[in-house]
Amino acid sequence: MKRILMLTALSGALLGLAPTAQAQTDTTRTTVKPQLNTAPPGTTTPRPTQTQPAERPAVPVPAPPPVNAPLPPGQPSTNSPSGLEFPAGSRASEQPKPLRKFFLYSNFGLGYNSNGDVSQFNLSLAPAIGYRVTERFAIGPGISYSYTNYGFSQFLQQNGYPKNISSNNLGGKLFAQYIVLQDIGIFLHAEYEVTRAEYPDVDASGTQLITRSTVVQTPLAGAGYRQRLGDRAAADISLLYNFNDGINDIYGQPVIRFSFLFDLK
């Protein structure tokens, strides 16, 4: 009986001490307090970043250069394979125009000569076809017509000569022309004409004036000036020396020519 009472009392005592032991056990448990950020302002703790696969950089495609844009040094252009460029607007930068080989060349001429007793006035018209051998040198054939008026002095008229007499002359010619200064328009010109011409003469008695027909050869040479009238036309004026300054001369001295040039296709 006593053992039972003692066990009961011991059990009650143990039950009374259990909360106290539990409280003592809780006080010994370590508690973790939140840590404050003591780092300086603006400083952040780096976070681990997730590594992403690297992307290949895009290759830039060069844009085509604008028209007439300067190219890098040493790179030839399509218009200048040699790489030699000239300033824009200069003559050297212009594209060369195709050479027109054939052209029409007609001229109107004036001539006058006087030796005191006989004066000579001449009008001539001579169309021709020209051919350019090079850009500066041209040759060509043509035909020539001239009207010549001879005037006689008072002394000759008192001896039976008329006041004047006229003749018509028709022939052919060859001409050659060389441009000396192309920018200015200065050229050299030469012609050789063979003409069936009429000229005044006296009869066998020496008292009667008559008109004779003969073949006259006339070399002419001199210089001229050309004025362009557009891409295909030009006007010339030239001063020529008549190397046939004899009795059968049909042009006089000097010979002034006004010419018109027109390029053919």
In a domain, 44, yes or no: no
Q: Is residue 55 very low, low, confident or very high in pLDDT (cuts 50, 70, 90)?
A: low
Q: Is the pLDDT of residue 200 over 90?
A: no
- Angstrom distance (rounded) from CA 255 to CA 217: 15
**pTM of the full predicted structure?**
0.56
Residue 212 domain boundaries: 102-263
In a domain, 13, yes or no: no
CATH number, domain containing residue 182 = 2.40.160.20
In a domain, 34, yes or no: no
Q: Is the pLDDT of residue 195 over 70?
A: yes
What is the reported pLDDT for 6? 59
Domain count, the chain: 1
In a domain, 7, yes or no: no
pLDDT tens profile 247-261: 677 777 888 889 999
pLDDT tens profile 94-141: 566 677 899 999 988 888 888 778 888 888 899 999 999 999 999 999
In a domain, 173, yes or no: yes
